Chain A
Amino acid sequence: MKSASPITGRVVRLADDVNTDLVLAGEYLNITDPDALAAHVLERFEPPVADRIGPGTILLAGRAFGGGSSREQAVLALVARGVGALVAASFARIFFRNAVNLGLPAVECPDAWWDVADGDELTIDLASGTLTRSDGTVWSFPAPSPFVADLLAVGGLEEWTRRRLAIADRT
């Protein structure tokens, strides 16, 4: 039930065009253990940020966050590292899907990309579509569609599909 209550965390600010190769390099795609994947998150990003990514981190990126490869390992690694939410000026479509499918909130808010600094503390409220900084500044974003909100509420597409299959079994 990740989306039911607001998410608060400290921002690690990235850049424009952070593709999935940068989030998790191809050489690690033969790994399936989430914790082992998590060890390599953003390890090639310059300047180095990997050491600051941990439980509750909110990753803030610019345009086209997660472009390129469909590798879900990239999002799985972020989740395993404890990342609480993603905020970006815009997302590449597969990366956005992978995030919400794994129950990781992904919010498009170009204004926040311009205004929010590295290290700021943010609270994300999906239900009201607001981002609030600890100094009280508020940015708004389009709240997730009911379907995406549903996916996030049950924890992702895996659980959503499990419930559909279970219902089908009973009927």
Chain B
Amino acid sequence: MHRLSGVVLSTRDGAASHARGLTTKILARHGAGDAEPGALAMVTCDLVMMNDVSGSLAMRAFERMGATRVFDPERVVLVADHFVPAKDVRSAELAGDLRRFGERHGIAHYYELGRTVEAGIEHTLLPELGLVSPGALIVGGDSHTCTYGAFGALGLGFGSTDIASALALGEVWVRMPETTRIDFVGQPGPWTAGKDLILAVLRQTGSSGAAYAALEFTGDVVDGLSVDDRMALCNMAIESGAKSGICTPNDAVLEWLEARSVPRGDTLLPDDEGYDHVLRVDVDGLPPLVARPPDPADVIAINELPSGLRLDQVYVGNCSNGTLSDLRQLVAGLAGRRVAPGTRLMVVPASNAIHRAALAEGLTETLVAAGAVIVPPTCGACFGGHMGILGPGERALATTNRNFRGRMGHPESEVYLANAAVAGASAAAGAIVDPRTT
């Protein structure tokens, strides 16, 4: 078949600049060439991923397109993670359809809780499986595909018809983004994590201040971040309206890749001048931050919240903050205390591998003894699906990425977003509290 990648579909007027950021370099390598910001281009996909929710529509569109085979069965990943374990008959059908699609098209990368040893939430699972490598262009049927920026890969989220087309063609149309470099300055204070870095960014950009931009995170603090913290940072790039978020791989990433025998390729580095905008974010001595409902970008320091915000539920999990680091922070925040009467603590290890590690480390035993319930690795209640839905008037603190009206259940419920240490301290107190002072 004739490929369209390498063909610029439209251009915009303006002087060409040859300095490029990391995102633009990755797009250029995948067929966008010298296309300038604002232009449309076809690019090739290294990996196409879909889940039980995006897949349900994508598989139907794929068939209606008259497609008979996927572009490359080895580069397609299917993850049943949103409504698993099946919450009802319709959900069971979604996961079943996804599995049968995989069987029909010879796709070995199918993952489902209870059916495969490795399973869990897509954006946590794919890197664990060694499927995410620096410089790759990964197309996912989920908005938080930007998480793969933690590894120097360009993860782009799409809807189902885009995914269906990418499955058939191995290509996708993109609008070339402007690049915004986020320069973190200083070192954050105690009890903070990757979550607080991205909340600090959102505090400045708001929910659409980085619309259509590719974010590239830099600064000493980013160079020193763990893989888990980098994933938390990149995961919520989209909450600023951005197309993607990415970091140049650091030693922690390179060790992670080596442990999983992932080829590094020739690592791309951004040019110093390859940015359309630079945003300085001062994080020196940063306190833990909290995003107030119903806007992930309505962020304030935890000590500026009114005291006594009682909690019906604390939820630790999802693709931004359900890692082993998060479970350790949760246990540290609990500090040997039990969950407060009147509060539920739901803990969702983001993958089976994290679940196993938490068992081996004794974290699970500590959490269950404290009164927590361990939920299997699923997107679950984060998007209002199942397993921890909020009733009318209930208030939750969650380590997830969205707190829109009704996001986790009833429209009159509330979700505050914060890191896992805040979650632990707050679960013990039964109200949102500052882990630095409890």
Contacts and interface: CB of A to CB of B under 8 A. Distances in A.
B211 interface: yes
Contact of B208 (A67, A72, A75): A67
Give 8 closest A-B pairs by Cβ, nearest first: A26-B384, A72-B159, A64-B208, A98-B159, A168-B1, A26-B383, A147-B9, A145-B10
Contact of A64 (B1, B211, B384): B211
B143 A70 contact: yes
B250 interface: no
Contacts of B411: 44
Given A90-B208, A98-B161, A68 B404 contact: yes
B296 to A, nearest CB: 9
Interface stretch (B64-72, B181-189, B303-311): B64-72
Interface in B227-275: 238-239, 241, 243
A133 interface: no
Interface stretch (B162-170, B344-352, B356-364): B162-170
Contact of B91 (A30, A75, A92): A30
A171 B205 CA distance: 49
Nearest to B244: A93
B421 to A, nearest CB: 26
Given A70-B158, A71-B53, A98-B161, A147 B404 contact: no
B159 A70 contact: yes
Contacts of B239: 68
B65 A29 contact: no
A158 B173 CA distance: 13
Given A29-B82, A44-B405, A94 B159 contact: yes
Contacts of B384: 21, 25-27
Interface string B76-89: 00000011000110
Interface of A: 17, 19, 21-22, 25-27, 29-32, 44, 63-64, 67-73, 75-76, 90, 92-94, 97-98, 101-102, 145-148, 156-158, 160-162, 164-168, 171
Nearest to A36: B90
A98 B91 CA distance: 23
Given A25-B406, A64-B208, A64-B211, 5 more contacts: A29-B383, A72-B160, A92-B241, A93-B241, A157-B165
A22 to B, nearest CB: 6
B398 to A, nearest CB: 14
B119 interface: no
A164 B169 contact: yes
A167 B66 CA distance: 12
8 contacts: A67-B207, A75-B159, A94-B159, A101-B159, A146-B9, A162-B65, A162-B66, A165-B1
Nearest to A145: B10
B61 interface: yes
B406 A93 contact: no
Given A44-B406, A93-B175, A162-B64, A17 B243 contact: no
Size band of the interface chain B makes with A: 35 or more
Contacts of A93: 175, 211-212, 241, 243
B162 A29 contact: no
B402 interface: yes
A31 B324 CA distance: 33
Nearest to A34: B57
Given A68-B402, A93-B243, A161-B65, A26 B158 contact: no
Contacts of A160: 165
B90 A30 contact: yes
B291 interface: no
A104 B83 CA distance: 28
Nearest to B208: A64
B94 interface: yes
Contacts of A92: 208, 211, 241
Contacts of B60: 32
A29 B53 contact: yes
Contacts of B168: 161, 165
B173 A147 contact: yes
Most buried by B among A32, A146, A167: A32
B399 interface: no
Contacts of B429: none
A72 B310 CA distance: 35
Nearest to A43: B411
B157 interface: yes
Contacts of A25: 384, 406
A44 to B, nearest CB: 5
B2 interface: yes
Nearest to B408: A26
A69 B143 contact: yes
Interface string B402-421: 10111100010000000000
B394 interface: no
A147 B161 contact: no
A161 B407 CA distance: 34
